[in-house]
Amino acid sequence: MMHKILIVDDEPNILLALEFLFKKEGYEVYIARDGEEAMGIIDEKHPNLVILDIMMPKVDGYEVCKHIKSLHGEIKIIFLTAKTKQSDIEKGKDLGADLYLTKPFSNKELIHKIKVLIT
């Protein structure tokens, strides 16, 4: 069975790049442009992993993270954000994310970490 990954980001180009990368690795990929859309997909599709940006319209990444943790404890979460402040990283980890990665990122490294998380 194919692992399902949800990518949440409001930057279309980043979505495009990540979708391309993950599909090539053989994952089933879903995309969401804001937090609201993301929560709908999570509830519906139960992805194995969610790649989360933090700063997004409507509902931010932290909220989405809380939502996942309260309803779908098994789903892995990776924060992928340009926010590099230590306080932001702490907050993300406190909320129960598995990884906190900062933009810009290395494609290979990202893929490697995902593989470690979901196999």
Q: Which spans of this chain sit near other proteins (rule: CB under 8 A)? A: 10-11, 13-14, 16-18, 20-21, 24, 54-62, 82-83, 85, 103-108
Torsion sign over Cα 26, 28, 34, 35: negative
Instruction: Give the distance from CA 112 to its chain's centroid.
Output: 15
Beta strands in 1-119 (DSSP E): 4-8, 28-32, 49-52, 76-81, 99-102
Shortest Å distance, C-beta 54 to other proteins: 6
Instruction: Give the distance from CA 98 to its chain's centroid.
Output: 10
8 Å CB contact between 114 and 28? no
Preceding omega of 104 cis (within 30 degrees of 0): yes
- CB-nearer residue toward other proteins: 44 or 85: 85
47 phi and psi, to 5 degrees?
Answer: -65, 160
- CB-nearer residue toward other proteins: 10 or 98: 10
- CB-nearer residue toward other proteins: 47 or 61: 61
Shortest Å distance, C-beta 66 to other proteins: 13
- CB-nearer residue toward other proteins: 41 or 56: 56
Shortest Å distance, C-beta 8 to other proteins: 12
Shortest Å distance, C-beta 39 to other proteins: 15
